[in-house]
Amino acid sequence: MARPTFQINPQRLRGLRIEHGFTQKKLADKLNALLLEKNQSSNKPLKESSSPQTLLTTYQRIERNGKTSPERAAALATVLGVSVELLQGSEQPEPLDYLKRIKTLLTIQIENKENAALQRRFEQLAEEGNDDPLPYLVEEICEKIEAVQLERNPSEITELIELTGLPENELLKPANVLGHWFVTVKSYQGKKSYIFHDAREVSYQIQKKIDEHLSHFPLDSSIQMWRDGSWFRMEIKARQSMHIDFVRCHPDAKGLCWSPASWRDEFFLYDSFVNWSYSAANLITDFEGKQSPLNMQRLRLLVTENVVSVKDGPVVHSQRRMMISGRLDEIPESTKEGFLRESAVHNLYESWLITDLRYALMPHLTEHPSECWEISAHDGISIRLTSRRTRSKIIPDEIQYCITLVEEVSPKEFVRVPWRQKDKDAQKKKIEDWLQAPYSPPDEDDQIPRFEPI
C-alpha cells in the first residue's frame, strides 16, 4: 500500500530556505536532526541512519515537486519557523517577514553601491527630507512588487528587476505586504466585482457603497455579517437588499487564488466594520454572530449628566444618570403591526423615546438661555454648556449631557446599541428646535424620569 503523501508549495519552500540563508544540505541536516529527536522523545524505534547524500536527495525531491509526508511537512515548518499552512501556500507570509527580507536584500546592495538604479532612488528619498530613507524605500518597493504580481506589466517588472536585482521568477512569488482583495457587490443596481489593494481600502470602499445604498432608504435597516471559510459575507436589508462578498486573494500566472485572511486582517476588519455599522444601520449582527439589539422593546435612552463645580474651593466633579424608557410597552399592538409592515418599528420606538426625553431634559436646559448650549452628534448626542456668562451673571458650573441609545439587558444594566448617524443628526435638530420654542411641562409630572447619582 502506497504511503500517503502531503502536498506543500515547492516555490514557497525554496524561497523560505533562501530567506533563512540555508543551503539544501543544511536544511536537509536540520530536518533530519529534528525528526530523529522527535522519534527518540516518542520512543519510536530508530531506523538505520541514511547517508548524507540520501538525506540531501530526499530533501531536493521535496523542493522539486512539493510531495512529502505530514510528519516531514510539520518538521520543515518548525525548522523554518512558519505554519504548515504557509508551506502549503494557503497562508500568506507575514508582512513584516517579507519587508525584513527585502530590507536585507536592499541594504546589502546600497552598502556595496552595486545597484545604480537603487542608489539613485535612495538618494532621491534622502533629498526629499527623509532622515532615514531606507524604510520608505523598502515599503515603496515592496508595495510595487505586490502590485505588479497582479498587473504583470512587463515594463514595471523590468524596472523592479533593476531596482532589486531579483530575477522575474523571484519577484512574482507571493509578497503579502498590503494584500489583494476580491469583492462582489449585488444590489438592485446590478452585480459588480472589484479588486482592491489593502484591507483598509476594502473597508473604506465597502462602507462607502453600503452608506450610498442605505441613503436611498430612510426606514429601518439591518446589516448581517458572517464568515464562510476564507470569505467575508454581508447582507444589508432595507427596502431593497444588498449582498457583499469579499475574500483575500493572491495572483499567480493562472489568475487569482483565494487565501485566508491574516490575523491582522481579521483584527482590523472586525473592528472597522462593527464600529462603522453602529452608525449605519439599526440592527447589527457582527462576524462573531453577536446581534444588537436583541429586543427592540428594551431600547432606552441613557442621559448622563457631568457637572464640574468651579465655585470657591476645590474643583468638584459630580455625575448623575437618567434612563428614558419611552413607555414602549404602552404602544398599541395595532400600531406596532402597522409600522412593522412599513419596516419602521425602530423609528416608532425611537420617536417615543425622544418624546419622553424632551419632558425629562428640558427643565434642565431651560435653566440657561438657549444660546449657551452647544449640541453635537457623534457617538451619541452631546449637549454642553459653552457660555459661562449670561445676563451679567457668571455661571459657576461646567455642565454636559451625554445621550446614548442603549438596550436594558437587565434592571439598570445597559449595553450600547446601533444608532444611525442620520437619526442622531435628526434628533440633534429636534433638540435645537426645542430650545428655540416655548416649553410647558406635562400635566403628569410624576411620570417624568429623574436623574439619579451613579
Q: Strands 222-228 and 283-285, how do they pair?
A: parallel
User: Which part of the chain is CATH 1.10.260?
Assistant: 6-88
pLDDT of residue 360: 93
For the domain made up of 6-88, the CATH class stated in words is: mainly alpha
SS (H, E, C) 313-380: CCCEEEEEEEEECCCHHHCCHHHHHHHHHCCCHHHHHHHHHHHHHHHHHHHHHCCCCHHHEEEEECCC
For the entire predicted model, the pTM comes to 0.73
246-299 pLDDT, tens digit per residue, is 999 988 888 888 988 887 888 899 999 999 999 999 999 999 999 999 999 999
Residues in the chain predicted with pLDDT less than 70, given as ranges, are 1-4, 19, 41-49, 90-94, 310-313, 387-396, 444-446
- Which grid cell is 254? 493562472
CB proximity list for 125: less than 8 A, separation 6 or greater: 133, 136, 137
193-252 pLDDT, tens digit per residue, is 999 999 999 999 999 999 999 999 989 999 999 999 999 999 999 999 999 999 999 888
pLDDT of residue 315: 75
pLDDT of residue 85: 82
Cα(322)–Cα(357) distance, integer angstroms: 10
pLDDT of residue 312: 66
CA 307 to chain centre: 35
pLDDT of residue 446: 61
- Which grid cell is 291? 446581534
pLDDT of residue 93: 63
pLDDT of residue 225: 98
Give the dihedral of Cα atoms 228, 230, 232, 235; nearest 10 deg: -30
